[in-house]
Amino acid sequence: MTGEGARSAEDVAIDVLSRLRVRGESLAVAESCTGGGLGAILTSIPGASAAFVGGVIAYSDSAKVSLLGVEPATLTSHGAVSRESSLEMADGVREILAADWGVSITGIAGPDGGSRAKPVGTVFIGLSGPDLEFGERFRFPGEREEVRTAAAWAALDLLARSVKRTDV
């Protein structure tokens, strides 16, 4: 995991959840290609419910639209695997679960589904928080499960760095 050295995902999750709890803030996740992997990391921490309110696994485009409020025009123009979709997913989960922070993951884990423009391993992570919104593109090598694991770790790392940046 970039930026965290030898720390485990659980260590980073403990740190993030603790910071959010102390600040009285909450977190929700929207996952597609990771299928709940990020939520599983977060809920493996005892006391996670003090800051983690829940998540939505929206695998299909129709679920992204109906559950998270992703605009059909966004999917048509940019695709489900895009910065724009990841941002709408993060905003949507933050809104529907009334959380202070929303994190989303959408990508192509493989082995099929890739293209020249978006090869297998392409993942977008969206983040929506207090006075903060951005999406980032990643390209993870490896087989399906390696891509999924790397995406969950990257989302956790991105969240951790963003929460630390906004510490008062």
Q: What DSSP element (H or E) covers 163?
A: helix 144-165
Taking the model in full, what pTM does it have?
0.94
Instruction: Report the C-alpha dihedral over residues 67, 73, 74, 77, rounded to 10 degrees.
Output: 150
* 9-161 under CATH 3.90.950.20, yes or no: yes
For residue 117, is pLDDT > 80? Answer: yes
Q: Write out pLDDT tens, residues 13-70.
A: 999 999 999 999 999 999 999 999 999 999 999 999 999 999 999 999 999 999 999 9
Q: Where are the domains of the chain?
A: 9-161
Residue 139 has pLDDT above 90, yes or no: yes
The answer to whether residue 74 scores a pLDDT higher than 50 is: yes
Rg (alpha carbons) of the chain, rounded to whole number: 15
Predicted local distance difference test score (pLDDT) of residue 2: 45
112 φ/ψ angles, rounded to the nearest 5 degrees? -105, 175
